[in-house]
Structure 1
Amino acid sequence: MIRRDFDLEEMKYFLNLVELSTDDYLYIFDFTNDRAIYSKSITDVFPFASNAFENATAQLKAVVHPDDIDMLMEDLQEGFNGRRKEHNLEYRWKTVDGTYVAISCRGQYVISQGIKYLIGRISEIGKQSRFDNNTGLYREVVLENVYNEYCKVRHSRGFLMLVGVDNFKELNEKYGAKTGDEVLNILTDAIRRYIDTPLRIFRMPGDECAIFMPYTIEDNIEQAKNLYKRIRNRIDRVIEHRKYDIFFTISAGTAEFDTERDSFNDLLKNAKFSLHAAKLNGKNRCEIFDSVNYIEYIKKLGIQDELRRCISEGFEGFELYFQPIYNPQNDRLSGAEALIRWNCSKYGFMGPDKFIPLLEESALIIPLGRWIIDSAAKACNRWITNIPDFVMHINLSFVQIVKSNIIKDVLEYIGRYSAANNHYVFEITETIEMDRIPAVERVFKEFIKNDFRLAIDDFGTGYSNYGYMRDKIFDIVKVDRSFITDIDKQRNNYLMVSFIVKMAHEMGLHVCIEGVETKEELSCVRELGADYIQGYYYGKPVCVADFEEQHLKKLILG
């Protein structure tokens, strides 16, 4: 604390003079007599009756945000006791219109003639920069400052929890931004019910709030799980009390921290990943950061980046394999299914079950899908020379159907070759989403209009869309191989496949049985009247050259 004698009246005169050339508010706070004087313009913005007043501490508390009072009083007490040389704090003051604005307050502690003063300036930071007007919470930048201060002054452990509103974008679009703000206030009120310590709750970008919670007695991540449950239950009670005029759920991601080990950026990254995992895993849940899962996630991002690179560089490492489809009644080749394979320089050969979901997540399946159609059509055009009724089966992703102009792509790439459209079957894996989007049925009808055939792939493994079968949008049903394994020994499998074949035939549809590997299985499906067989018994997926060697050469030679 500075010790210096000065004339208080001269200081007041100097204060009034300087305020004419600055946007800041100058002040002199007399701790000893609990009096204060500010720049005259302060009453234009903040609800002080005068710029000079007695009972200054109480007057100050009346304009400070309730969540910031304890922090401010602690700082001022430190200065009054001589443990701080200067005051430098950012907090919130109420304005004359009842809203709060963030301020930066700086000053020096001075003793003059036995009286303790704080002399300095106040500047408005702005309503949006440090705290959120809607919820009244500090923003992410303050959370970062709080965490970094913890790192400087103490060794602490605890957790950071990010809480987000599920489907917040849809809520805003359906009900409007006002309802979105109301939802965020319900969330923050629920959190405040269990955490009333200042600088523990923060407003993050979008629909998220952050809870910064150092451990007090013991390190126990169960605290985070229990806190999430209490917040969620509180929100449920509010929704019920409001008679469900608004409904939403919340997800949370939690990461533990150690201030001697974790930077703020790492901590926030881990919490964001956990929140992302909670939403991917079904929402309305809390996930705790798991380093093993995070490493897998980073690897997945790396694979997606490599997929993107390979696609952009001429589809490097991609190759079409073809698995034969036979007519079981005469053992003659009737067609093939085109199957994508990827052998990249960085990760080596990778199964389609690993990389196709990543292609679909990133929509890279759309450009790769065009390449697949073109490559399959090129092979088909070549093989119909020897087998005039040869049919090429090409898989379509649901992403291609709903996120691209798939009909335009198909007509463009198949139109490059002379094989007619009826030489192609497009396979779609059955999914419940097909029934939810009216535009999907319109796309299917466009395929039929252009003389393409459609097949339901993996029929029976999930959501079976009998409506599309009834309407004869699909004319081929491909029975999943899980029903064929040991069909000669498993009566239930036999009965299930028998039912599917009979139903399809009575509806005028064809049946292709996948996964036939043994003579015994082949005998069963022949007996059941399958129209087509696909499986290792006739051949595994192979490259163009091997397919021609194994399945076309003997046909040509007779």
Structure 2
Amino acid sequence: MSKLISERNTDSLITTYKKDSMLSKLFEVFSITAEGSYVYLCNIKNDFSRWSKEAVDFFDLPNEYMYNAGAIWEEHIHPDDREQYRKDIDAIFSGSSNSHNMRYRAKARDGSYVLCSCRGLVFDDDDGIPTYFAGTITNHGYQSNIDAITNLKNIYSYFEEFSNSSMFGFTVSLFGISNFSDLNNIYGYEVGNHLLKVFSEYLENTFNNIDQIYRMEGTKFLILSKNYTIQDMNDLFEKMKEELRLGLSVDNLKLSLFIGGSCLYVSSKTVGAHTIYSCLKSSYYESINLKQGDFAIFEKDLDGNLNERLEQLNTIRDSIVKDFEGFFLCYQPIVDSKTEELVGVEALIRWKNDKYGLVPPIYFIPILEKDSSFSQLGDWIIHTALKEMKPLLEKYPNLEVNINLSYTQLEKKEFINTIEKIITQVNFPKKNLCLEITERCRLLDIDLLNNFTKSLRNEGIRFALDDFGTGFSSFSVLKNINVDIVKIDRAFIKNICDSNPDKIIVNSISKLCQEFNIDLCIEGVETNEIKEYLKQIYVTCFQGYLFSKPLTKEEFYNKYL
């Protein structure tokens, strides 16, 4: 933690710093010329520093002038990178090193981590005594606001401009080329880049009365307008679909394009840029994956109030970066199919606040999974679940804690290290952890999933294939990836006593698991009639309201400890 000094002492140090005209001039010159980098200058004797205002704004630091800035900055550095950073800074201040050069991840104001390169040197005062430590921090997350390929404003410009405005009452759409990767693989990188340029020009010509077009990630383009209605956007999208299927001319080639699109109307200035983009991406992937490229409009909630839902999602997203305010976990017991004794527990995320009450996860998880902040929430869920369930291991040494994974977590290269670190911090036995691969995770590359599960299974962590039977990839995953448990979705269970098709499906999965020597957990067991029917087939454990609803930590402790 940073040292505390009085405001008077801080003001005195600032005044002393400013009197050193050479240092002030040097700082100003380097701050102006170091585009994309931030300058820092520290007096080692009193551990007082000045940092670029751009760094203060981007990383939400307390002030340009800081006492014990190294410790303050350390709190912004990713936990996995702090130890090496601390060693480097301690070496500078102890006099055992006169240079600093390392890369680390640092948390920005919006809660996301950006990669930074930090370089610094120690130099002497007029008496030859090492006194000053100065250098630059290069923010690799910093980008020009113009996309180099299309010359359109880019994603950074979108977030910057939107965050600095109070604009509302507009339609915003997201369009993208769904078959771009195929074309890029066939014709090559240069043709792919030229295609993006030609497509961006096509959009500008199509939306010639538009307020702004941004190139976002990959092939996605965001279009913002105060003049076009959702119906206008839908009509133009249908026209674009037909034209682009006939082909777009690129480098003497006629390339047939397939597109996806989504749209929503923003009527409130309290909804942030990140929330809007997350909602658009959610509907965009629905357009690509579920609607065969049909236009997807971000729907209203059950009460028909779209504006309230957007504000609600914005509040939930902000809660992630506010130390997970309002989030908590509930735990649903998993019982042995024969003895009905407790053998496991599934951690389930919940969110609640005074304005919106308890919001079901189905309302925010599918949307926020597209958000850059979601992996932080996923890591918090793992840490909290292991910490809160650890006391039960003394009474139930074989208790298995099941935690759902998000595909945004799996996509991160450092996620395996993150899990290892959390387990070490909590001192939780690996054999008691089971990670659930959800339906959305199965959309990831099969090799990525295989490498991930293989690495952690070698450490003793178990894996469950959740929602088995839904979607199109369940059997493909089971064929290519070693899992320990299959969980049958409740959709096949609720009518099983009366539905012959459900009986055939469940019986077939049961025989398959028995042949593969895989545990079978059946969710959604809500009546004794369902339970007794399922006891006739191969099944290892049950989960459902017949045994218990999801319980808060306190309720779970009262029932099982």
TM-score, structure 2 normalization: 0.55
Instruction: Output one character per residue of 1:495-531: Cα deviation in whole Å (capped at 9) or x when no partner.
Output: 2111101101101101001011111111111111210
Kindly indicate whether the alpha-carbon contact (under 8 Å) linking 2:347 and 2:403 is maintained by their aligned counterparts in 1. Answer: yes
Instruction: Output one character per residue of 1:371-426: Cα deviation in whole Å (capped at 9) or x when no partner.
Output: 22122112332111111211111111111111362222221112233442011111
Structure 1 residue aligned with 2:400: 391
Could you say if the C-alpha distance between residues 337 and 438 of structure 1 is closer, same or farther in structure 2, counting changes exceeding 3 Å?
same
Could you say if the C-alpha distance between residues 242 and 499 of structure 1 is closer, same or farther in structure 2, counting changes exceeding 3 Å?
same
Match among 399, 407, 430 for residue 416 of structure 2:
407
Q: Given the alignment of the two structures, is residue 488 of structure 1 paired with residue 497 of structure 2, yes or no?
A: yes
Kindly indicate whether the alpha-carbon contact (under 8 Å) linking 1:161 and 1:210 is maintained by their aligned counterparts in 2. Answer: yes
SS of equivalent residue, structure 2 residue 467? strand
Match among 462, 473, 494 for residue 482 of structure 2:
473
Q: Distance in 2 between matches of 1:379 and 1:385?
A: 13
Alignment of 1:215-294 (within 5 A): 232-239=241-248, 245-249=254-258, 279=284, 282=287
Structure 2 residue aligned with 1:8: none
Q: Distance in 1 between matches of 2:320 and 2:417?
A: 20
Rg larger for = 1
Alignment of 1:176-187 (within 5 A): 176-184=192-200
Q: Distance in 2 between matches of 1:545 and 1:163?
A: 44
Structure 1 residue aligned with 2:191: 175
Structure 1 residue aligned with 2:177: 166
SS of equivalent residue, structure 1 residue 377? helix
Q: Distance in 2 between matches of 1:391 and 1:255?
A: 42
Structure 1 residue aligned with 2:552: 543
Structure 2 residue aligned with 1:515: 524
Q: Distance in 1 between matches of 2:398 and 2:466?
A: 21
Per-residue deviation at 1:427?
0.7
SS of equivalent residue, structure 1 residue 528? coil
Letter of the structure 2 residue corresponding to residue 371 of structure 1: W
Kindly indicate whether the alpha-carbon contact (under 8 Å) linking 1:393 and 1:424 is maintained by their aligned counterparts in 2. Answer: yes
Structure 1 residue aligned with 2:467: 458
Structure 2 residue aligned with 1:427: 436
Letter of the structure 2 residue corresponding to residue 411 of structure 1: E
Kindly indicate whether the alpha-carbon contact (under 8 Å) linking 1:392 and 1:425 is maintained by their aligned counterparts in 2. Answer: yes
SS of equivalent residue, structure 2 residue 549? coil
Q: Given the alignment of the two structures, is residue 324 of structure 1 paired with residue 340 of structure 2, yes or no?
A: no
Structure 2 residue aligned with 1:362: 371
Per-residue deviation at 1:447?
1.4
Could you say if the C-alpha distance between residues 313 and 487 of structure 1 is closer, same or farther in structure 2, counting changes exceeding 3 Å?
same
Kindly indicate whether the alpha-carbon contact (under 8 Å) linking 1:454 and 1:474 is maintained by their aligned counterparts in 2. Answer: yes
Per-residue deviation at 1:548?
2.5
Per-residue deviation at 1:338?
1.0
Structure 2 gap segments, 5+ residues each: 1-148, 151-169, 268-276
Alignment of 1:13-162 (within 5 A): none
Count of equivalent residues: 374
Q: Distance in 2 between matches of 1:221 and 1:417?
A: 49
Q: Distance in 1 between matches of 2:317 and 2:231?
A: 40
SS of equivalent residue, structure 1 residue 362? coil
Q: Give me the identity figure in percent.
A: 27
Q: Distance in 2 between matches of 1:303 and 1:473?
A: 39
Q: Root-mean-square deviation (CA), in Å? A: 4.7
Structure 1 residue aligned with 2:542: 533
Q: Distance in 2 between matches of 1:319 and 1:202?
A: 41
Kindly indicate whether the alpha-carbon contact (under 8 Å) linking 2:400 and 2:434 is maintained by their aligned counterparts in 1. Answer: yes
Letter of the structure 2 residue corresponding to residue 406 of structure 1: F
Q: Distance in 1 between matches of 2:173 and 2:350?
A: 39
Kindly indicate whether the alpha-carbon contact (under 8 Å) linking 1:163 and 1:250 is maintained by their aligned counterparts in 2. Answer: no
Letter of the structure 1 residue corresponding to residue 518 of structure 2: L
Structure 2 residue aligned with 1:449: 458
Letter of the structure 1 residue corresponding to residue 503 of structure 2: Y
Kindly indicate whether the alpha-carbon contact (under 8 Å) linking 2:488 and 2:522 is maintained by their aligned counterparts in 1. Answer: yes
SS of equivalent residue, structure 1 residue 361? coil
Kindly indicate whether the alpha-carbon contact (under 8 Å) linking 1:186 and 1:235 is maintained by their aligned counterparts in 2. Answer: no
